[in-house]
Chains A and B, each alone.
Chain A
Amino acid sequence: MSISKESYRVLESIVGAEYISDDPVVCEGYRSGPGGYESGLGYERVMTVVPGCVIMPKTTEEVQRIVRVCCRYEIPYVPYSTGFYGPRSHPHVEGALLVDLKRMDEIEIDEKHWFAVVGPGAIYSPLQEECMKRGGYVVIGGGGAQASVIANFLGDGWSPLSHRIGLPHRRILGTELVLPDGELVKMGSLAQQDDPFWGESPGPDLRGLLRGYTGVRGCLGIVTKMAVKILPFQPERLVPTGISPNTSLALPEKRVKWINFVVPNKEAQVRAMFEIGKAEIAGAVTKVPLFWRAIAKAECKEEFWELWGKESAETVNKFFIVRVLLIGFTSEEHMEYDERVLMDIMKEVGGEARPTRPSDESWIKNADSAGMWVMCGSYVSVDYVIETLSQATQHGELYADLKWKYTPPLMPDYGDPGWFQSFELGHQGYSEFLVYWDQDQNTDGVDLFYVDTAKMNIKNRTYTSLLGPHQPLYLTGPKYGPNYHLWLLRVKDEFDPQWMCHPPVPLAHDVFVERAKWMKPIKDWEVPKDLPK
């Protein structure tokens, strides 16, 4: 379903004919699934539609004008940077305007003051390259170097490099946000001047509107510019080597080094992480699930399953790796110091260093998330949580336990409890639980599992990132805060009284549960009568 001809003409006059289309074939190209993050699932099938029209603005002013036109003509609109995050980044109602922000892809670096100004169309890897040329780095979110920097900062934004700085919202500086009614609010130093170098504004910090841990999925306006912190790195070059599919960064061995340690058990893993945090060393500290090792080794899906088939619950439960990235930020001597301290800690916990390649395939410039789809064809991170290491190390076990109930269709992984790592020098901990399935099978179980994890988190009193738009708001809302959902909805109502910005988010998952018959067994909470249908 397209948008009205009248509104199309008005929108066309804003961006020019070349940058707008309501052709059904063009719109089909923007379909959410069936492949992709959290795709091949009920939510995607039930809740997403192709856009009625696609528009590609170039400037903040154009975005404002587009949003105002949408409000005037009652056209629901959805901000879209890369579309990688899956169904939640795609239109949920007919006749929506998809605002493809890819042309707003500027990257400007202030080398001396360690920040970059980016547009929503800029992705991580070019930014990282520009940073590294200048002795800096950014934390490329686990979603991968192909994620939009801004979108990732708003909704995710961490990786093993978060050992030093976890939450991305600490890294957001001057920002421009086009509110759902088209008003522009400039935050941080941009509130008072043209220089985006600083993130705090006078008085209460409206960066609180930008995200709530994992973001509001584009239902509270469109960020058109953001300055992000660059972190000082070290000056030696990381050299790209290899030919696809085996490309990696060769590390300057005296300044950057990964070391893999085998430790005797989980307690040792956890203790090592705590100690490394307390010692305030290293650039990244993480454990990884065993099957990621199989993914890294395998040349193809079939080889992965051959390798994985050789493992068992026993080998999974005996596989305890701690991967540590050392970075000589100050000097070569710094890295040597860090390494000596690390070895002291590993000796204490019974860890042994294993030969480790002097290269980085993944976290510094790539974040190989695409590999997550190799095994089964479909994947989602059913939770990715920043809390403490104390929670992190228990959280995965809860998921692993619950997951058995839904395997199949979930991939059999012998109860692997996901991965966890240290964040912010051990002040925080991170846990992520990933699940995989084949979308050609009956995936109702995956949909149910997903919501069941919300209940599991509520019951076990664990903090989960999948709140807000990610789970039924009326399920999680009363249980966190309590009643955070009421505040979120009030803010939404204030800034988007017409609910034109990506409707029906943040209630989309509630609507899904109402619409999808197979979700009935799990629905045991109240929703208001006026919930969007």
Chain B
Amino acid sequence: MAERQTKIDVKKLFKESPKTPVKLDVTDLNNFVYDMSRCIKCKGCTWVDHIYMPGAQFRTKCPTATRYLFDSYGANGKMRIGLALAEGKLQWTDKLLEIVYADPLCGACDVGCKRNLDLEIGLTLEALRVKAVQDGVGPLPAHKKIAQNIEKDHNCFGAPHNNRTAWLAEGKINPAKKADLLYFVGCSASYVNPEIAQATARILKAAGTDFMLMPDEWCCGNIVFSVGMIDEARALAQRNIEEVKKTGAKTVLMSCAEGYRMWKVDYPKLLNCSTDDLGFKVVHLVEHVDSLIKQGALKPTKPMDMRVAYHDSCSLSRLSEPWVPWEGERGWMGMVEPRLTRRRGTNGVYFQPRDILNAIPGLELVEMPRTRENAFCCGAGRGTKEAFPELALWSAHQRLEEVKHVGAEALVSACPWCKNNFAQAVKEDGNSIEVFDISEVILASIDR
């Protein structure tokens, strides 16, 4: 029994308590045993933040939990499953692999949990995939195919590497030989969505920000990283960063949210450095354009008479806060030292795209019920579309219901993965919603 203390010395209690070393390092699931064992099953990982809860419709923000329904598919279930795995109480099975991988890693659970608690849900989910690969059971065949494509052709699709810059000629675009700004196009825009690459390029030119490309652009490695192939991802990260440094670029700009997150957050994570230490800034097109509009360097003057909804691509929004490596110790009452400022999704790129859209004359921006950090993922990213096409399309359909709910004519996002998945869902649904990338909308609104 304690004496009836009138004062406690927290520092002393912490100092004298047994400590466990802890690192925000996804290559070792044991770093997250504390987090997995403290999940309280409040399902803040599944529900829209209750303050923003829209009502009887659109209650959840986790595509996987909403689609598959069993608790086991939501983060709360995965924490329990992950803990059993870490403790050697569960063996890998097809079901376990499915539960680990049927998940776009959209960050909704991580941010939802961190509204109230200090648990690293997102990193735990990443670590589970790394463990699957380490244990020789993961990733899934569809992911392995992508890894092979990247290995061979430096792009996810297995398309000829030579064709990567075909969009330039098609769009009659000439990048600068050298510039402070390097546009990292990404596999999607290069091969599947040249309209995004071309629009981005034209916007940059119109704003007087010339850009260069990487001499030899390879895949950013988003999918291989996301499915747990750490070594392959790290190799890509090192190579890509080196190549950028060689160009002397001060800023690397993306028009793809997935690539943005990969470069800004996961490259530093892989290399155990911070975003600030990369040696260059990483920005998304919308950050750049927003800044230009506010400076007056870019003027959206052409009216667009359209009612649009904006979809917060996960990797641009709640997943996009900069990375700072951390390691330390955990002791008394689970406190950690040194002080850790957790990434809670607060400072994602939420306002810039909205400010851009609101600056376009005639364009009416309406918010969907699930917005910003509560956005319902399109379901396509980080290897999900390839391995779980049904889940991805289903998620897109869910999101489209919101678009219809607010009576929007068009859906705008800032990622080709979102765009393509939504477009496919629209086609399947047979409705008339138009799906745009924000680069297309910006381009249409500016004088060139």
Q: Is there direct touching of A and B in the complex, by C-beta distance under 8 Å?
A: yes
Chain A interfacial positions (CB closer than 8 Å to B): 19, 21, 23-31, 33-37, 39-40, 54, 56, 82-84, 86, 100, 102-103, 105, 107, 123-130, 133, 144-146, 240, 242-249, 299-303, 305-306, 308-309, 312-314, 365-366, 368-371, 373-378, 404-408, 411-412, 414-415, 438-440
Bound CA–CA A439/B334 (angstroms): 10
Bound CA–CA A301/B194 (angstroms): 47
Bound CA–CA A95/B340 (angstroms): 43
Q: How far apart are A315's CB and chain B's nearest CB, in angstroms? A: 10
Q: How far apart are B186's CB and chain A's nearest CB, in angstroms? A: 27
Is B389 interfacial (CB 8 A cutoff)?
no
Interface size, B (range): 35 or more
Bound CA–CA A305/B331 (angstroms): 13
Bound CA–CA A414/B4 (angstroms): 7
- 26 contacts across the A-B interface (CB closer than 8 A): A28-B72, A29-B80, A30-B72, A30-B80, A31-B80, A35-B39, A35-B41, A54-B70, A103-B69, A105-B59, A107-B56, A124-B50, A125-B48, A125-B59, A130-B56, A244-B344, A244-B345, A245-B344, A246-B346, A247-B49, A302-B335, A313-B7, A368-B116, A378-B38, A412-B8, A439-B37
Bound CA–CA A312/B4 (angstroms): 11
Once A240-B52, A370-B40 are accepted as A-B contacts, the answer to whether A123 and B47 lie under 8 Å apart by CB is yes
Q: What A residues does B332 contact at CB under 8 A?
A: 438
Q: What B residues does A145 contact at CB under 8 A?
A: 50, 53
Q: Which of A40, A240, A405 has the most CB of B within 10 A?
A: A240
Q: What B residues does A33 contact at CB under 8 A?
A: 37
Once A29-B73, A370-B40 are accepted as A-B contacts, the answer to whether A300 and B118 lie under 8 Å apart by CB is yes
Q: How far apart are B160's CB and chain A's nearest CB, in angstroms? A: 41
Bound CA–CA A127/B55 (angstroms): 6
Enumerate B1-31 residues with CB–CB distance to A below 8 Å: 1-2, 4-11, 14
Is B373 interfacial (CB 8 A cutoff)?
yes
Tell which of A31, A36, A244, A309 touches B9, judged by Cβ atoms closer than 8 Å.
Answer: A309
Does B115 contact A25, Cβ atoms closer than 8 Å?
Answer: no
CB-nearest residue of chain A to B114: A245
Tell which of A27, A129, A246 touches B54, judged by Cβ atoms closer than 8 Å.
Answer: A129
Given known contacts A130-B56, A300-B118, A375-B333, what 7 new A-B pairs fall within 8 Å (CB)? A36-B39, A126-B56, A243-B373, A244-B112, A301-B118, A301-B335, A376-B333
Does A28 contact B84, Cβ atoms closer than 8 Å?
Answer: yes
Our count of residue pairs bridging A and B at CB distance below 8 angstroms stands at: 225
CB-nearest residue of chain A to B346: A243
Does B116 contact A371, Cβ atoms closer than 8 Å?
Answer: yes
Does A301 contact B70, Cβ atoms closer than 8 Å?
Answer: no
Bound CA–CA A421/B47 (angstroms): 30
Is B93 interfacial (CB 8 A cutoff)?
yes
CB-nearest residue of chain B to A308: B10
Q: What B residues does A31 contact at CB under 8 A?
A: 80, 84
Does B345 contact A146, Cβ atoms closer than 8 Å?
Answer: no
Does A244 contact B41, Cβ atoms closer than 8 Å?
Answer: no
Q: How far apart are B40's CB and chain A's nearest CB, in angstroms? A: 5
Q: How far apart are A276's CB and chain B's nearest CB, in angstroms? A: 27
Q: How far apart are B354's CB and chain A's nearest CB, in angstroms? A: 13
Q: How far apart are B140's CB and chain A's nearest CB, in angstroms? A: 16
Is B111 interfacial (CB 8 A cutoff)?
yes
Q: How far apart are A29's CB and chain B's nearest CB, in angstroms? A: 3
Enumerate B344-371 residues with CB–CB distance to A below 8 Å: 344-346, 350
Bound CA–CA A243/B344 (angstroms): 10
Q: How far apart are B321's CB and chain A's nearest CB, in angstroms? A: 12
Q: How far apart are A244's CB and chain B's nearest CB, in angstroms? A: 5
Tell which of A25, A37, A39, A439 touches B81, judged by Cβ atoms closer than 8 Å.
Answer: A25
Is B99 interfacial (CB 8 A cutoff)?
yes
Q: Which of B6, B42, B51 has the most CB of A within 10 A?
A: B51
Does A82 contact B10, Cβ atoms closer than 8 Å?
Answer: no
Tell which of A29, A37, A300 touches B99, judged by Cβ atoms closer than 8 Å.
Answer: A29
Q: What A residues does B99 contact at CB under 8 A?
A: 25-26, 29
Q: How far apart are B284's CB and chain A's nearest CB, in angstroms? A: 18
Bound CA–CA A299/B72 (angstroms): 29
Does A146 contact B47, Cβ atoms closer than 8 Å?
Answer: yes
Once A34-B83, A144-B42, A305-B335 are accepted as A-B contacts, the answer to whether A28 and B114 lie under 8 Å apart by CB is no
Bound CA–CA A404/B51 (angstroms): 37
Bound CA–CA A375/B81 (angstroms): 24
Does A34 contact B37, Cβ atoms closer than 8 Å?
Answer: yes
**Across the A-B interface, the 6 shortest Cβ-Cβ residue pairs:** A29-B72, A29-B77, A370-B116, A309-B10, A125-B50, A313-B6
Bound CA–CA A414/B9 (angstroms): 12
Bound CA–CA A2/B112 (angstroms): 33
Q: What B residues does A378 contact at CB under 8 A?
A: 38
Is B339 interfacial (CB 8 A cutoff)?
yes
Is B214 interfacial (CB 8 A cutoff)?
no
Tell which of A29, A314, A374 touches B116, judged by Cβ atoms closer than 8 Å.
Answer: A374
Bound CA–CA A366/B115 (angstroms): 11
CB-nearest residue of chain B to A301: B118
Q: How far apart are B448's CB and chain A's nearest CB, in angstroms? A: 35
Bound CA–CA A240/B36 (angstroms): 30
Tell which of A244, A376, A377 touches B49, judged by Cβ atoms closer than 8 Å.
Answer: A244
Does A36 contact B333, Cβ atoms closer than 8 Å?
Answer: no
Q: What A residues does B55 contact at CB under 8 A?
A: 126, 129-130, 133
CB-nearest residue of chain A to B113: A370
Q: Which of B9, B69, B345 has the most CB of A within 10 A?
A: B69
Q: Which of A33, A245, A249, A406 has the most CB of B within 10 A?
A: A245
Bound CA–CA A300/B9 (angstroms): 18
Is B44 interfacial (CB 8 A cutoff)?
yes
Is B241 interfacial (CB 8 A cutoff)?
no
Is B168 interfacial (CB 8 A cutoff)?
no
Tell which of B53, B111, B340, B344 touches A126, judged by Cβ atoms closer than 8 Å.
Answer: B53
Does B342 contact A300, Cβ atoms closer than 8 Å?
Answer: yes
Bound CA–CA A440/B44 (angstroms): 24
Q: How far apart are A503's CB and chain B's nearest CB, in angstroms? A: 22
Does A84 contact B41, Cβ atoms closer than 8 Å?
Answer: yes
Once A130-B55, A375-B333 are accepted as A-B contacts, the answer to whether A245 and B70 lie under 8 Å apart by CB is no
